[in-house]
Amino acid sequence: MTVNGATPLGATTPEEAAFAQDVPRGEPILEVRDLLKHFPLTKGVLFKKQVGAVKAVDGVSFDLMQGETLGIVGESGCGKSTLAKVLMNLEPATAGSVKYKGEEISHLSGAALKAVRRNIQMVFQDPYTSLNPRMTVGDIIGEPYEIHPEVAPKGDRRKAVQDLLDVVGLNPEYINRYPHQFSGGQRQRIGIARGLALKPEIIICDEPVSALDVSVQAQVINLLEQLQGEFNLSYMFIAHDLSIVRHISDRVGVMYLGRMVEIGTDLEIYEHATHPYTQALLSAVPVPDPAAREHRDRIVLTGDVPSPANPPSGCRFRTRCWKAQEKCAKEDPALTVRDWLDGRARHDSACHFAGERENLI
């Protein structure tokens, strides 16, 4: 089924045509290289002088494959939302490259930027604040058509919005209701319908279920999975909850202080993590089985997360890492596969001494 009977790749402008070619499943749809987003820190009222920068995203590289779900995890403040906003072109990148279907998009403006924005949409965390309380659901979901009237001409909009309500499991007759008349889970369905309105190929979900009750979270996750199959979507799924990320993701990237420190398939990351930070994060995930819980060796991280305005030299995790050695302060570890790793441990990890926990070198 397609939304409103059109193909997700329907290109109507020359700019859109440039991005209309199909990417085979398993090939990169988004290629991110050395991406930087620094927020300047200034001093002075009249004559603002830059005294430093918050390095929110500081050299992130990864691919998002066609049709996959890439989970992104990491502590609060590590740069997940900033990364999402830069990929969406809501914030300009300080440096680095973002290619969508092989075309550089990080410096686009005007019609070309508009064409890309249509294909990359976002679902936000808080369905209570991200929907305008004074607009009807129909106006909220249909608002993107004001910017892209070619997707649903004026006369077709009501039907297009009702189709979207149906697709996300809401009664199409609710089109004239206001956000406060819906529950949290229903509001997130409205947010998802809005994200689908322009028939995007990529949806970046930033903590899409964190504000919802546990019982409702599963329903929204199931909906996202079902929509991915129906519309051939690629997802970047940002979340704090490692169990949810494992459930929904094909691959998982772990961020720490503006960097990607480990990336691999869900099995590689959850069962064969080689970066000490990932191992610490995973050791804190609640285990339902009491017997397994007893044998679990929890890693308690000491020390605060350093400021992204002044990250440690070399490896950024070294101030909290129990494996840190002299080399860690001097050399910045690349995100790469280390020679000595084998089996499922052979995946990208930014640690000089990468190794599974039972196999520490």
Q: Which residues bind ligand SF4 (CB under 6 A)?
A: 275-276, 315, 317-318, 321, 323-324, 328, 333, 351-353
Contact 245, 281 (CB under 8 A): no
76 near ligand ATP, rule: CB under 6 A:
yes
Q: 152-157 — which CB contacts under 8 Å span 24+ positions? A: 152/4, 152/197, 156/4
Residue 298 tokens, joined: 């929890």
Tell me the site size for ligand ATP, rule CB under 6 A.
Answer: 12
Measure the CA–CA gap between 291 and 337, rounded to whole angstroms: 34
CB of residue 204 vs ligand ATP: minimum separation in angstroms? 12
With CB under 5 to 8 Å by kind, the binding choice for 165 among ligand SF4, Mg ion, ligand ATP, none is: none
DSSP state of 298: P
Q: How many CB atoms lie within 10 A of CB 300?
A: 8
**If binding is defined by CB under 6 A, does position 39 make contact with ligand ATP?**
yes
Angle at 245 between CA 254 and CA 130, to 5 degrees: 100
Q: Which of 95, 143, 89 is nearest to 120 (CA)?
A: 89
Interface pick for ligand ATP out of 30, 54, 269, 328 (rule CB under 6 A):
54
DSSP bridge partners of 273: none
**Residue 30: closest CA among 67, 71, 56:** 67
C-alpha R_g of the chain: 22
Cβ 188 to ligand SF4, closest distance in Å?
36
Residue 126 CB, nearest approach to Mg ion (Å):
11
* 253 touching ligand ATP, by CB under 6 A: no
Query: Near Mg ion by CB under 5 A, which window of 75-83, 181-189, 209-217, 319-327?
Result: 75-83
* DSSP single-letter state for residue 336: B
**Which C-beta is closer to Mg ion: that of 81 or that of 106?**
81
By beta-carbon proximity to ligand SF4, the closer residue of 200 and 276 is: 276
Which 303-322 residues touch ligand ATP, going by CB under 6 A? 308
Does residue 81 bind Mg ion (CB under 5 A)?
Answer: yes
- To ligand SF4, the closest distance from the beta carbon of 261 in angstroms equals 7
Which of ligand SF4, ligand ATP, Mg ion, none does 351 bind, CB closer than 5 to 8 A by kind? Answer: ligand SF4
Among 77, 184, 312, 314, binds ligand ATP (CB under 6 A): 77
Residue 186 found at the interface with Mg ion (CB under 5 A):
no
Please report, in angstroms and rounded to a whole number, the separation of the first and last CA atoms in the chain. 51
Query: Is there binding between residue 80 and ligand ATP (CB under 6 A)?
Result: yes
Edge-first strand listing for the sheet containing 103-104? 49-65, 28-43, 95-100, 103-104
Q: Provide the sign of the torsion angle of the four alpha carbons 237, 243, 244, 249, taken in this order.
A: positive
User: Binding to ligand ATP by residue 130, rule CB under 6 A?
Assistant: no
Q: Which residues bind ligand ATP (CB under 6 A)?
A: 39, 54, 56, 74, 76-82, 308
